Structure 1
């Protein structure tokens, strides 16, 4: 017999209107049963004076990565990364992010650890690896002539993804799909932290990208394109990718193409700022890499403003792993600083992100029938400032996994009952995290 959870007295954010109105939310199992005034339930999660928003969706993370210092990575036992991933997933969920798209690094075992409840974390979509040519973003060849595979090592369950030519592309795409990829990721330009690639240069020929897209269509999966430079962005959009990741050097033609093709932009504004904030020494950046980071920031901001003004659809992604895990909601403040309204910034992490992932019928709204993923924020104003400090609760699949206010956990409705049963396993008084499933 289910015990319905009542989230009482909050102001529920409506992404359609961009406003919030006072309403209760009733959760039965993993689903939202009802939203409206004067509802009741068996247990209560008090939300008076708080904004109730859908669980946030981060469309670009790397849960297996939290260091880009190659020397440190080479001195770290490989298996330790999986324990770091468990910590990173926990931090992400407790930050209010209930769904992520991992853009390379996490394999099927990491995803299964979450879905089985072995590890606490958000629901996951995984790319497993990033397709790149020799000399491209996933090629870790160094000026010394060494190739250390510190950031993107291959291992059982995670195929090597440096490919050249249509046949190599086809084989590796099929290996990724066999390994459990939910989405395919391709680097159509160089990158910022890769040692010898150029973020402004386009990589892969039309024949290679065409094979990728044909295999993706056959498998009914979408393609996300790491793309900084203008030419590489345009090549990816022409080919029909679902989203451009980063999109640093957009121009008016590229933006117009994205609008015409319905291509999404996932900006990841947090990543270059995190590298500069941590400092080149801490991140292990060379002078050449740091120069690329500095060049990126101003151009990136301008491109987001240009894309938003033109009507390009934007979804939130943080590049967490480059940016710190658990600070994901900072991205919404950065989007707002580039001209998105608070409501649009919230949409980027809820309804828009859900649409990008093809999951709008499941997540992204606080509405009957949707999955019960909720975040409670202090204050009832629709605003994105200081979100981490305002976080007061996280509900994932109907379970309260975090209370950030130190207040009363969900309790039995009616007169107060100070018993373990009344407190409920989902909402322990000491804020210990219960099973996610």
Structure 2
């Protein structure tokens, strides 16, 4: 028996080993924004094997037997879009939105998030940062999408945001003291350095990808100030230092200057909204490599709704009217100053699926279409720390690819009508 096996082994080494060639998917793109330059390439073939880009070739390459060809010769193809500020489990709908915490259960939030996730993916956004939910529902949704039993974008989520007592993300705001729950680090309310560290570790335990704090007042919370600083320096440093230990980045909701200044100095990764930033803040952000996520669309939305009697509570309405209109100009000056910008909308304030309306607002404020697309691809991937797998159309990157009919450099508003969506090598819209 031993001789027979030896002879068989020898004979096998003399025979050529042949494997059937794996079928590829070829995308024939009339134009391509690859993210590797600010120029569009004409007539490009993107070769995809499994869930990754194998190559990006000039011209329309012929298919081999078994290959699949996707004809996008009338379209501009680009990396999957990335929105760095969404809230998938909510959508602002006027007065009823403020009653939902009394009427909805955890399952209601989760199922609604799944619906909005599908809408977001259909709009061409294959990756999002979810910056705050109510019951860790987007952590569960992220897992469901990753395992294939829900459909939506790739989610990086903070779970529950972190605030101080009475701060922008304190879930007990606006309640009678007879109803007000006892909230602490688990619910995202901290006071002092020890509780700040505990809140970060709790989110790590819950499975959050990153941390979000509300360093100043906010527009839509039932609290008086929309811009006062709400964390002390020692609390901010405790959050950032602890987050770094767990390899988590820190995103910061901030409108007022002092809150931004404290947060940037503490070493956070991004400032969201940033309404009252000035030249001093610009220089501080550039010196620290801090990203700015503008959310112009949310500002426009709340400014318009503030004109409607009864849409917002009376405590919220003047904040929306004052802060909302300023964000586009804040973006314009930050961009001109050279601050790093990553695309973000705060969708959930405005309607999910309308995310791409942000592009036109960015271009209207002075950004080129190429830079606007870069903010939602290359820059967003950099902010997330995933530039090795996402953000450009290059070999070995994940096959997250979207397309629009026409040329977005000529008309950026066509980004609002994405006609093709591929995520992780799977076509979800064509």
TM-score bracket, normalised by the shorter chain, equals 0.7 to 0.9
> Structure 1 CA distance, aligned partners of 2:311 and 2:180?
15
Say whether the 8 Å CA contact 1:333–1:385 is kept in structure 2: yes
1:423 corresponds to: none
TM-score of the superposed pair, with normalisation by structure 2: 0.87
Structure number with bigger Rg? 2
TM-score of the superposed pair, with normalisation by structure 1: 0.86
**3-state SS, counterpart of residue 124 of structure 1:** strand
> Structure 2 CA distance, aligned partners of 1:191 and 1:118?
35
Say whether the 8 Å CA contact 2:421–2:429 is kept in structure 1: yes
Does residue 120 (structure 1) correspond to residue 162 (structure 2)? The answer is no
- 1:245-286 CA-partner distances (Å, limit 9, x unpaired): 111111110111111111000011111322344567698411
Say whether the 8 Å CA contact 2:28–2:70 is kept in structure 1: yes
Q: How many residue pairs align between the two structures?
A: 398
**How do 1:236-315 and structure 2 match up within 5 A?**
236-278=263-305, 284-315=311-342
> Structure 2 CA distance, aligned partners of 1:65 and 1:273?
18
2:87 corresponds to: 62
How much has 1:321 moved relative to structure 2? 1.1
How much has 1:343 moved relative to structure 2? 0.5
1:376 corresponds to: 403
How much has 1:388 moved relative to structure 2? 4.8
1:141 corresponds to: 173
How much has 1:385 moved relative to structure 2? 2.5
Q: Structure 2: which 5+ runs fail to align?
A: 1-20
2:60 corresponds to: 38
1:17 corresponds to: 37
| C-alpha spacing 1:302/1:275, structure 2 compared with 1 (3 Å) | closer
**3-state SS, counterpart of residue 159 of structure 1:** helix
- 1:116-156 CA-partner distances (Å, limit 9, x unpaired): 1111001111101111101110123217446668xxx999x
2:129 corresponds to: 101
Q: Structure 1: which 5+ runs fail to align?
A: 404-437
> Structure 2 CA distance, aligned partners of 1:260 and 1:294?
32
| C-alpha spacing 1:383/1:118, structure 2 compared with 1 (3 Å) | farther
> Structure 2 CA distance, aligned partners of 1:327 and 1:369?
30
Does residue 201 (structure 1) correspond to residue 259 (structure 2)? The answer is no
The one of 48, 53, 74 aligned to 2:78: 53
- 1:28-67 CA-partner distances (Å, limit 9, x unpaired): 1110111112324411111112100110001111111124
Say whether the 8 Å CA contact 1:26–1:33 is kept in structure 2: yes
**3-state SS, counterpart of residue 33 of structure 2:** strand
How much has 1:288 moved relative to structure 2? 2.8
1:26 corresponds to: 47
2:27 corresponds to: 7
**3-state SS, counterpart of residue 129 of structure 1:** coil
- 1:377-405 CA-partner distances (Å, limit 9, x unpaired): 111352553235542211111111002xx
> Structure 1 CA distance, aligned partners of 2:310 and 2:283?
36
**3-state SS, counterpart of residue 47 of structure 2:** strand
> Structure 1 CA distance, aligned partners of 2:149 and 2:103?
28
> Structure 1 CA distance, aligned partners of 2:350 and 2:190?
27
1:435 corresponds to: none
C-alpha RMSD of matched pairs (Å): 2.2
